[in-house]
Structure 1
Amino acid sequence: MEDQDFLLGYACWKSMKAIMKAKVSAATLIFCLGMANSLTCWKCLSREGNCMETNTEVCSLSQDSCILEIKQFFALSAVTVKQGCGTSNQCRRYLEGHAGLLYRGMYCCSSNLCRPLNFNVSRDGSRNGVKCQSCIGSTAECGQDVPSQPCYGSMDRCVQISQRFLPGEELEPIIKGCGNSSFKDAVVAYQIGKDFAYIDQKVCRQSNCNNRNVTDISSRQPNGLRCYTCRGSEDGECARDRLQLLNCTGAMDQCVHVIKKSKGLPVTIQKGCATKTMCDSNQGIYFNLMRQDYYAKCCKTPLCNRAESPSAPVMLTMGTALASWLALIAWK
């Protein structure tokens, strides 16, 4: 980067010198003036939130801010801090907030090598000798080459969560970090209409063992179960007379209602096929990732999910069971 900057600067100096003697294009002059006014930002993706001294980038003329984006999943020791060039508009439009135990935020500043926020990772206990990859984000950001970080206290195993959601739902497809003994291997799969989605949680005990390829769980052959299916809001798309039929496949041997608490009353917003793990209350991943205003109800006999939403008392007894797939959807 420094060599490139030197060469570009030298070229501009030569061009500016030539202006005194002859004819240099307006484009060259504008480029050189723009380079002189460019913003420089730290650029890295790290758990600690600090970039090495050499990790910088020169922003384009359209980029007026240095950005710092934080993603933190509190159930794991999993943090991603991304720094680089951006725009102030990105910060204004970024949907900051919590969904379950996942937090996302973006911060901006506008001077060279500025940091809009001092971010420190909190730890409980001392190092336990295990190291795990730590990342939250896309498959490109959180691939097999993510740097590892030491684990602390009871967080003595590595966890990787791979996810694929329904079309139109915002997602973080990969979560990696250190976890404790409450984390177990778990898979949930579900289908709403023609759309198939899943969550796959893998847990291992060796250092850096969560460097797996992204899981891709495909739908299997029909298993004989048929369920009603719909996907809508609160405008009647899941009314009894508008339901469609769906042939379930593979391990999806349950019919499912996805229910939203709306003004204190339960409203069914989705129906389809699912694995039993979507409704198992003993799967810790769902406590950690679910949105508090959604839950799922499963049943096992053909077409058993046509019934209307359960009453409010029943809703409360099942409120701990919703699938994690709704945790990372668009922040509304």
Structure 2
Amino acid sequence: MAQSVLFILICTLFYKANSLTCYQCIPETSTRCAETKVECPFGQCGTMKITSYAGNNKLNDMITKNCSLTRQCVAASVNFGITSVVMNNQCCNTNLCNNNQSEPGTRIPNGIQCYTCTGEDCSSTLPCADDEDHCIKATVNTDGQKMIMRGCATRNLCEGDLSTQIGQSSISSVDLTCCEGHLCNSAQTVTPGCLFQLGLLVYAIAHTSF
């Protein structure tokens, strides 16, 4: 009996010593939310910033704060030329440390190029930036219509949890195909699409968070 009590006491002390208090702020219908505090029994505190662009013009920022697993503390981006999404989840491991986030610097071309689409023509090339070391083909199926897009992406958006969550988006069926190498996402004429479907894909990517 004494051993059982001692075991429970040690486990309780271990839990308290390794838990964190983090800020939590999860937007639902807008880019703003009410900030609260939450106990995180594992992982770290995280602040994820998702920025969407139309061309070179910033559309909006969405900031989410919550507990984060170490594998979620990543930066990722995808660029289709006409639109792009940049995600950055900064993590820390002290109480209430996720109270702010530094602004990202200017995106720097890395020498890799991928094919992109302008209307139905996918013979144009797009310079990739920062850690975008993959070329991507994204097929969006919604309401019986299909649109195929091409561009640059980071490895972690093409593989693992991010890719799975985007593909399982409830708003549309999204199929991602990535390759590594200069202009590897071959240029072909694609099925005519529309900006509405492009918006669905951006929405799916932007809501892949904690």
TM, length-normalised to structure 2: 0.64
What SS class does the counterpart of residue 166 from structure 1 fall into? strand
What SS class does the counterpart of residue 278 from structure 1 fall into? helix
Distance 1:227 1:286, change over 3 A: closer
Kept in 1: contact 2:20–2:95 (CA 8 A): yes
Structure 2: unaligned runs, 5 residues or longer: 1-14, 190-200
What SS class does the counterpart of residue 138 from structure 2 fall into? strand
Partner of residue 22, structure 2? 132
Q: Residue 147 of structure 1: CA displacement?
A: 4.9
Kept in 2: contact 1:158–1:204 (CA 8 A): yes
Q: Rg bigger for which structure?
A: 1
Partner of residue 99, structure 2? 211
Find out whether 1:176 has 2:71 as its counterpart: no
The AA in structure 2 aligned to 1:134 is Q
The AA in structure 2 aligned to 1:273 is C
Find out whether 1:192 has 2:80 as its counterpart: yes
Partner of residue 182, structure 2? 302
Distance in 2 between residues matched to 1:324 and 1:262, nearest whole Å = 13
Structure 1: unaligned runs, 5 residues or longer: 1-125, 232-236, 310-321
Coordinate RMSD, CA, aligned: 3.8
Q: How does 1:57-72 map to 2 (within 5 A)?
A: none
Find out whether 1:260 has 2:158 as its counterpart: no
**Paired residue for 1:225, among 87, 109, 112?**
112
Find out whether 1:278 has 2:167 as its counterpart: no
Distance 1:158 1:288, change over 3 A: farther
Q: Residue 248 of structure 1: CA displacement?
A: 2.1
Tell which has more relative contact order, 1 or 2 (C-alpha 8 A, sep 6+). 2
What SS class does the counterpart of residue 185 from structure 2 fall into? helix
Higher strand share: 2
Distance in 2 between residues matched to 1:195 and 1:150, nearest whole Å = 35
Partner of residue 157, structure 1? 44
The AA in structure 2 aligned to 1:210 is N
Distance in 1 between residues matched to 2:163 and 2:78, nearest whole Å = 14
What SS class does the counterpart of residue 199 from structure 1 fall into? strand
Q: Residue 198 of structure 1: CA displacement?
A: 0.7
Distance 1:248 1:150, change over 3 A: closer
Cα shift readout 1:223-269 (whole Å, capped 9, x = no counterpart): 332211126xxxxx3x4x4532212233222211122135688641x
Distance 1:195 1:285, change over 3 A: closer
Kept in 2: contact 1:184–1:202 (CA 8 A): no
Partner of residue 129, structure 2? 249
The AA in structure 2 aligned to 1:224 is G
Partner of residue 201, structure 1? 89
Kept in 2: contact 1:183–1:285 (CA 8 A): no
Q: How does 1:69-88 map to 2 (within 5 A)?
A: none
